[in-house]
Structure 1
Amino acid sequence: MIKPNYENQSIVNLMSTILTHMGGHSPYRELENFSSEKLTEAKNVLLLVVDGMGYNFLSKYFPKSFLFQNVKTKMTSIFPSTTAAAMTTFYTGLAPQDHAIPSWFTYLRELGLISTILPFHNRATGYSLQTKTVSAQNILKIESLFNQCDGNQFVFLPKEIAGNPYGNVVLSQTSQCSYKYGSLKSFFKTMLKVLKKNNKSQSSNFLLGYWPNFDSSCHSKGVAHPDTQNHFTLLLNHLEKFIHSIKQISPQTKILITADHGLIDTPPERMLFLEDHPELYKCLTLPLSGEPRAPFFYVRPAKVAQFEAYIQKNLSFAGDLKKGEDLIAANYFGLFPSHPKFEERIGDYVFLMRDNYIFNDRLEGEERNLHIGNHGGLSEDEMFVPLIVF
C-alpha cells in the first residue's frame, strides 16, 4: 500500500508550485522535482486533469506514446484516491483533511445524512441539498484556490457538472471564468479559443481543464477493455493536435497534464457487500460512506468489540481495519491540523482494501454497484499519477 507523500511529491505539492507561481501561498511545500521556478517564463499555465489516468496505466499500455515520453515525474494522489477528494485538492490547493471533502459518499452531520458530495445531493433521495436555508458555502466552508491567484483564471468543465452548488464554492464563480463543453473535440477547441483570445493580454493566465470520460470508461468497462484503450487513443490524438496548435499561437504557455488518481479492475468474486454480512450490519449506526476501496464505518459504541471481531474473523483477507483517528495521526489525509468537520466525515473506522477487493453497501432502491474499474485505495495503480510537461 502506497501512503501519500504530502511532504514534497503529491498532487497537493504540484498545486503549491502552481499557486506560488500565481502569487498565492500554500502551507505545503512545492513539488520536489518541479518548483515554481520552472514556471517563471510562462505567461500561461494550463493544467489538464485527465480523470483516472494513472501512471501505471500509461507505463503499461502506452509506454511509447508522446505523453509518456514527456513524463517529468511520478507523484502520489491523496487518500482516499478518489475524484471528490482529489479534484477538491486541485480546486483548493489543500489535502483532504484541510478541505474536508474525503469521498464521493460523505456524511454531513449538520444535515444528518450521507451525501453524494460533488453533485451536492442526498444519497438516499437523489434530491439537491441546496435549499433556501441550506447552502453549499455554509456546509463546505472552504476557500477556492482561485481567490488567491493573480491574473486571470479559466476553468473548463463538462456541461453536465458545471455550475452546481459544490462547483460554485470551490471554483469561486466571482473570480474566474468557467466554460462548458460537450465533447472531446469541443473541450480542446474551447481551451484553444480562450488561449488565443487572451494571448495579447498583459496579465498572466491560469487555466484548468478537466476530462472525466476516461474514468467513466474504466468504471463501466475496465482499465484493459478495448473500448477504454480506444478512448484513450482518441484522447491522445486530440492532445497531440492541441499541443501543436498552442505552439503556434501561444509559445509562452506551459502545459501540465496529470490525473486525480488511477484505477484497478475488480472481478465479481472480489466484490463484497454489506448485505451479505447481517451481523456486521447490526453493528453500524449509519450506511457506509467513503469509497468501495476505502469504506468508512460508523459503529455503535456498544458493538465496537463485536464489530472488530467480525472483521478480523470474516473479512481480514480483504483488507486492514484502521481507526479513522489513527489514520489522521499517521498523516494519511494531510499534514496540518484538520478542518473542523473532517474527523466526523471519515467515520470511526476505515477499511483499507487489499489487492483489488471492494466493499459496498446499498440503500433501499439502489442496485448493487458493479463497477469493474475502481479507485479510492492505496494500491500503486490507484495512487501513482504522472506529471507530464510540455
Structure 2
Amino acid sequence: MHAQLKTAFETGVLLQPSWRRLNLVDLVRSLARLAGVRDMEQGEGTRRLMQEIGPADHLIFVLVDGMGMNLVDRLPQRSFIKSRLRMEIQSLFPTTTAAALTTVATGEWPNKHAVTGWWTHLPEFGCTSTILPFVDRYTHRSLTERGLSADTVFPCKAYHPRMTHQPLSVVPAKLPNTLYSVYSRGGTPGVGYWALDDGINEIIKHVQNASAPTYTYLYISDVDSLSHLRGWDHEDVLALMTFVDGQLGRLSETLSSRAKVVISSDHGHTTVRLADRLAIYDGDPILDALEAPPSGNPPTPMFHVKKGHSAQFVRLFEERFADHFSLVSSDEAEAMELCGPGKMTEIAKRRFGDFIGIARGSLTLKYYEHGKVPASDDFGGHSGLT
C-alpha cells in the first residue's frame, strides 16, 4: 500500500473500506433474505443484521440518499432517527449513489456489479456513460440508441423477483419508469411520489391493505440533491433533514404494530472548497496517455491508459497530483479489496480501469469539457474515503 495512503488510513484522515466491518452489502442481503430470497449470499455480517432486524410480515427499507453520520449527528437528540439509532455501518467503495444503488438492487459488491460511479466507462462498448440516466456522458443521448439495454450493461440481476414477500418500490415521481429504476427492481411494481408525505401515505395505505407479506423500498433523494447544491452543513439541509425525520417518524408510528422500518443511507457528504477542485481540460498532456477522460467520480477518478503509456501517465500524474492524491493500480485495488472481497470480475476490472486516484482529503480531480470550470461545480461531494 502506498505510504501516504496507509498513513491516511492509520490516522483516520481516510476510512479504509473493509468487508469485515458491518456494511451496506450486509444490510441489503439481510433484508433480501428476510423478504424470502433464499439463495442470497450471507456471511457473518448478514446473519448478525438478520438477527438484529428479525422476521416480519411487512418490511420497509428506507434509503435516505446522502444522509451520512455527520448529518445525523446534527439532528436533535430527541429526533426520531437519532433517538432510534441502532448501529453504524460502513458504505462501500466507491461511495457514490450509482454504485450503492446497484448494490441495493443486486446485493453485490462493486467488484461484481461493475458500476463504478456516476460516470461509468464502458470500454466494451467504446463509450463513457452517465449510468443512472443511462445516457452517453458527452452527447447525453440514450445508450439505447447504441443498441444497449439493461441486460447488456448490467451484469448482475436485481433480486426482487425472487422475494416471497410482495415487493413495491416507492421513488421520486420522475424515476419509476426510467430504464435504471425498472432494472433495479427487476421489473417488479414501482410507483412515484411528488412530495415525501404523499410517498409516506402511499406506503401506509399499501401495508395496511395488504393481505400477504410485503417488502417496500422507499428512496429519498432530496437530502443528497440539496447537500450537493448547498453543502451538507448548510442550514437548509438541516431543515430538510428535520422534515424527513418527522415524516419517517410518522411512518414508523403509524405502522408500528404491523411493519418493521429499517432506515439507512448510501453515503455521506463533504464540502469541497473551490481551491480544492483540481482540473483537467482539453489539450492537457495527461489526456494523450488515456483512452478516455477520467471517469468514475471526482474524488476517485478512474483512468483507462493507452497501451504502452503507463509510465508516461504515472509520471505526469505524480508530478501534478501526488501531493493530494494516491494513485492505485487496479491490481493493487483488487489486492486491497477496496471494491469488495475477492477478485474483480473481468468486466468490473475493465471498467475500473488501469488506475484509481484516491483523494487524501476533501478534494476532487475532474475533466472539464469545453466551457465548464470548477467554479460551476456543486459545493457538496462524495465518493471518496473521508
Structure-1-length-normalised TM-score: 0.90
- Amino acid corresponding to residue 361 of structure 2 in structure 1: D
The range that moved more, 237-246 or 152-161, is 237-246
Whole-angstrom distance in 2 between the partners of 1:64 and 1:310:
52
Corresponding residue for 1:214?
Answer: 223
Residues 8-87 of structure 1 mapped to structure 2, 5 A cutoff: 8-24=21-37, 25-31=39-45, 34-87=48-101
Post-superposition Cα deviations, 1:291-338, rounded to whole Å, max 9, x if no partner, equal: 011000112233322221222222112111101221122211111443
- Amino acid corresponding to residue 183 of structure 2 in structure 1: V
Match of 1:205 among 206, 214, 217: 214
* Residue 136 (1) aligns with residue 150 (2): yes
Whole-angstrom distance in 2 between the partners of 1:197 and 1:2:
44
- Alignment coverage as a number of residue pairs: 371
Superposition RMSD in Å: 2.0
Post-superposition Cα deviations, 1:99-150, rounded to whole Å, max 9, x if no partner, equal: 1112110111232110001110011111111148332212213211212211
Whole-angstrom distance in 2 between the partners of 1:32 and 1:195:
25
Whole-angstrom distance in 2 between the partners of 1:32 and 1:151:
18
Corresponding residue for 2:185?
Answer: 171
Whole-angstrom distance in 2 between the partners of 1:311 and 1:109:
22
Whole-angstrom distance in 2 between the partners of 1:295 and 1:256:
32
Match of 1:267 among 263, 273, 298: 273
The range that moved more, 13-22 or 212-221, is 13-22
CA shift for structure 1 position 339: 3.4
- Sort the Cα spacing of 1:252 and 1:311 in 2 relative to 1 into closer, same or farther, 3 A: same
Corresponding residue for 1:383?
Answer: none
* Contact 2:80–2:246, Cα closer than 8 Å, also in 1: no
* Residue 228 (1) aligns with residue 237 (2): yes
- Sort the Cα spacing of 1:86 and 1:62 in 2 relative to 1 into closer, same or farther, 3 A: farther
Corresponding residue for 2:284?
Answer: 278
Corresponding residue for 1:330?
Answer: 336
Corresponding residue for 1:384?
Answer: none
Corresponding residue for 1:104?
Answer: 118
Corresponding residue for 1:386?
Answer: none
Structure-2-length-normalised TM-score: 0.90
Q: Which runs of 5+ in 1 are unaligned?
A: 380-390
Whole-angstrom distance in 2 between the partners of 1:127 and 1:256:
37
* Contact 1:263–1:374, Cα closer than 8 Å, also in 2: yes
- Sort the Cα spacing of 1:192 and 1:367 in 2 relative to 1 into closer, same or farther, 3 A: farther
* Contact 2:325–2:357, Cα closer than 8 Å, also in 1: yes
Corresponding residue for 1:120?
Answer: 134
Corresponding residue for 2:167?
Answer: 153
- Sort the Cα spacing of 1:63 and 1:262 in 2 relative to 1 into closer, same or farther, 3 A: farther
CA shift for structure 1 position 262: 0.3
Whole-angstrom distance in 1 between the partners of 2:363 and 2:222:
23
CA shift for structure 1 position 341: 1.3
* Contact 1:14–1:34, Cα closer than 8 Å, also in 2: no
CA shift for structure 1 position 5: 2.7
Match of 2:310 among 289, 301, 304: 304
Whole-angstrom distance in 2 between the partners of 1:161 and 1:362:
27
- Amino acid corresponding to residue 239 of structure 2 in structure 1: N
Whole-angstrom distance in 2 between the partners of 1:32 and 1:74:
14
- Sort the Cα spacing of 1:169 and 1:208 in 2 relative to 1 into closer, same or farther, 3 A: same
Q: Percent identity?
A: 25
- Amino acid corresponding to residue 385 of structure 2 in structure 1: L
